[in-house]
Amino acid sequence: MSDAIRHRLTPLEKSERRLGFAMLAPAFLLLAAVVLYPIAELIRNSFHFNHLAQPWMGTPFVGFENYVKALGDDRFHEAVLHTVLYILVTVPGAVVIGLGLALLANQPFRVKWPVRLGLLLPWALPLVFAGLIFRWFFEYNQGIANAMLRGLGLEPLNWLTSPGLAFFAICLAIIWKSSSFVALVLLAGLQTIPKSFYEAAEVDGATKWQQFREITLPMLRPAIFVALIFRTITAIQTFDIPYAMTNGGPGNSTETLAMYIHKTTVDFLDLGYGSALAVLMFIVSAVITSLYLRHTRRDPGRH
């Protein structure tokens, strides 16, 4: 009997559901039109040998060979390691800085646009150019970083040609660029927190820090989650900034997974292997994202 209840949808529910799917339709139609075929191709390619510079080899099916090759590829390992390091540094970095910027920008300014603009400019600057600008800042002779060191009477540093410093410089650029996006999302979140909460806390004698911990942070959780998940996905795909700043150098010491995929497919024309790398990268992203999603689904803290 209870089964009968469960499985019968009333016409009203049916029409709600129909409406729901109809509302999802535009998004999925767009996705299907644009990326369905490319993704299918990508996955198909990853199981084939397909090297455009060696067309005489044909495109035979090779099963998991490309994947096996990746597992034994030192350069792939290094690229993964670098990517993970970038994620570990720049994601929390951007969230912390972004949160700071959002809090600062959420003050009752009389003139708001310079602040808004300052918040958005890093993000409005195309990635490649942000990378190039920071490369210039860290340039040995004409860079601001070394100019300051010289001004302090210190020896100039080889920012972009020693692996540790280059990593630092790149992280700085990425954080600068991406904290803007984080700040934007968090600012929007901050503005939905009712003032009355703070007034109540104020009355209760909470310090600013306590208000931040007890009201702002919990209320910001959904926004922080959105920012985190996207910052992580984009961090996994880190490409333009290290590409512009060091092109992966010195050696391959700042090369990321996305850069290696780019090189493999665009420069080396090895579509098969490149596709396998891309699928691996996708799997890693998917795992991380699903962890995020599961974490938030468990989260009872909403409202």
Partner 1 sequence: MTSRFTRRMAARLGLAAGLALAGAAYAQAQTTLRIFTGGQQRPDVMRQIVDGYMKANPTVKVEVEVGGATSEQQQQYLNTVLASKDSALDLILIDVIRPAQWAAAQWAEPLDAYLGAEKDAIMARYLPAYRAANIVNGKVIALPYFADAQFLYYRKDLLEKHGLQPPKTWDELKAAAQKIMAAEGNANLRGFETAGAPIEGTVCTYLVPLWGSGEDMLKDGKLNLAGDAAKKPFQLWADLKAANVTPPNLAEIPTDRIRQNMQAGNLIFGMTWGYVWNRLQNDADSTVKGKIGVVPLPGFTADKQATCIGGWQVAVSAFSKNKAEAAKLARYLSSPEVAKQQAILASHLPVFPGVYTDAEVLKANPWFEQALPVVQSARSRPVTPRYTEVSEIMRTNMNAFLAGTKTGDQALGDMTNRLGAIFR
Partner 2 sequence: MAGIEIAKVVKAYGSVPVIHGIDLSVRDGEFVVLVGPSGCGKSTLLRMIAGLESVTGGTIRIGDRVVNDLPPRDRDIAMVFQDYALYPHRTVAENVGFGLRMRGADAMTIEKKVKEAAEILQITHLLDRKPGQLSGGQRQRVAMGRAIVRDPKVFLFDEPLSNLDAQLRAEMRVEIKKLHQRFGTTIIYVTHDQVEAMTLADRIAILKAGHVEQFATPDEVYRRPRSTFVARFIGSPSMNIVPARIAPDATTITLDGDAAVPAPASFARARGRDVLLGLRAEHLGLAGPDGVPARTVIVEPLGSDTLALMQIGRVEMTGRFPPAAPLRAGGDVTLRLDLEQAHLFDPETGLAIV
Partner 3 sequence: MKLLRNRRAMIILAGLIVAANGFFPALWILFTSFKTEVELMRVPITIIPQAPTIENYIRVFVDQPILRFLFNSVVVAVLSTLLCVTCSALAAYALVRLRLPGAGIILSVLLAIAMFPLISMMVPLFQVMRDLGLLNTWWALIFPHAVLSMPVCTLVLISFFQDIPRDLENAAMIDGCTRLGALWHVVIPLTAPGVFTAGILAFVNSWDEFLLALTLSPRVASRTLPVGITLYQGEFSFPWPIISAALIVAIVPICIVIAIFQERVVSGLTSGGVKG
Smallest distance from partner 3 to CB 243, Å: 11
Among 54, 191, 207, 210, binds partner 1 (CB under 8 A): 54
Does the protein bind partner 1 through residue 126 (CB under 8 A)? Answer: no
Question: Which residue in 236, 213, 242 sits closest to 292, CA to CA?
Answer: 236
Beta bridge partners of 270: 51
Which residues have C-beta within 8 Å of that of residue 150, sequence separation ≥ 6?
Answer: 156
Q: Which two tokens stand for residue 43?
A: 């996955």
List binders of partner 1 among 156-185 (CB under 8 A).
158, 160-163
**Between 177 and 263, whose beta carbon lies closer to partner 1?**
263
With beta carbons less than 8 A apart as the criterion, state whether 158 and 139 touch.
Answer: no
Quote the least distance from Cβ 241 to partner 2, whole Å. 40
Amino acid at 198: Y
Residue range at the interface with partner 3 (CB under 8 A); choices 160-168, 207-215, 231-239, 245-253: 231-239
Under a CB-based contact definition with an 8 Å cutoff, are residues 187 and 119 in contact? yes
Count residues near partner 2 (CB under 8 A): 12
Task: State the DSSP code for 255.
Answer: -
Binding residues among 42-81 for partner 3 as defined by CB under 8 A? 42
Q: Are 184 and 120 in contact (CB under 8 A)?
A: yes
In the region spanning residues 14 to 33, those forming contacts with partner 2, defined by CB under 8 A, are 15-16
CA distance 44 to 131: 34
Q: Select from 87, 89, 132, 245 the one that contacts partner 3 (CB under 8 A).
A: 132
Q: Is 61 in the site for partner 1 (CB under 8 A)?
A: no
- Interaction between residue 238 and partner 3 (CB under 8 A): no
How many residues bind partner 1 (CB under 8 A)? The answer is 27
Q: Which of 290, 291, 299, 301 binds partner 3 (CB under 8 A)?
A: 290
281: contact with partner 3 by CB under 8 A: yes
5 binds, among partner 1, partner 3, partner 2, none (CB under 5 to 8 A by kind): partner 2
Q: Which residue, 108 or 153, is less far from partner 2 as judged by CB?
A: 108
Judged on CB neighbours under 10 Å (0-12, 13-18, 19+), 95 is: buried
* C-beta of residue 52 within 8 angstroms of C-beta of residue 267: no
Cα 255 to Cα 237: distance, rounded to the nearest angstrom: 12
139 binds partner 1 (CB under 8 A): yes
**Per-position DSSP letters for 256-279, written without gaps between them:** -HHHHHHIIIIIS-BHHHHHHHHH
Which residue number, 186 or 270, has a Cβ lying nearer to partner 1? Answer: 270
**From candidates 158, 192, 207, 210, binder to partner 3 by CB under 8 A:** 192
Instruction: Find, among 270, 261, 268, the residue nearest to 243 by Cα.
Output: 261
Report CA-CA distances (Å) from 281 to 54, 80, 131, 257, 276. 25, 9, 23, 8, 9
Quick check: 289 binds partner 3 (CB under 8 A)?
yes
- Which of partner 3, partner 2, partner 1, none does 162 bind, CB closer than 5 to 8 A by kind? partner 1
Min separation Cβ 109 and partner 2, Å: 22
The CA-based diameter of the chain, rounded to the nearest angstrom, is 85
For residue 208, the surrounding DSSP H or E stretch is helix 208-211
Name which of partner 3, partner 1, partner 2, none residue 11 binds, using a CB cut-off of 5 to 8 Å depending on partner kind.
partner 2
6 counts as binding partner 2 under rule CB under 8 A: yes
Residues within the interface to partner 1 (CB under 8 A)? 52-56, 139-141, 158, 160-163, 246-253, 263, 266-269, 271
